[in-house]
Amino acid sequence: MECIVHFEVLHPGGPKQLRGLLFLDKETAGPTESQLIDMFKDMNFDVTLADREKLIFKPVTPKENYSQIRITSLDTGKEKFSEDRELKSIIGNLLPQRPTGL
């Protein structure tokens, strides 16, 4: 299964939005820490995990021209359910409120 990793690299001139691609087993829910670090290494970002909860990675060497990398989202292609309140309201107004008699 493919996983598109959306992330932001913080440069002195401002943030830059980038993406990476990982291939995962179908049974796994998401990428592991080592898979993410390896993906970043393949992209010439030598990083270590600084904040597991916020998914922030810091460069291993302080001379890099970026201060951190933050993962903004993971896209595995699975559908995500979200209630569409506007559509529900329109349908509720179109359908009769009470059952009609014969």
Helices and strands (H, E) in the chain, number of each type:
2, 5
More confident position, 16 or 96: 16
* Residue 46 binned pLDDT confidence (cut-offs 50, 70, 90): very high
How far, in Å, are 63, 68, 75, 79, 81 from residue 87 at the CA level?
Answer: 52, 40, 25, 18, 14
pTM of the model: 0.71
Backbone angles phi, psi at 34, to 5 degrees: -65, -35
Q: Among the residues of the chain, which ranges form H helices?
A: 33-42, 85-94
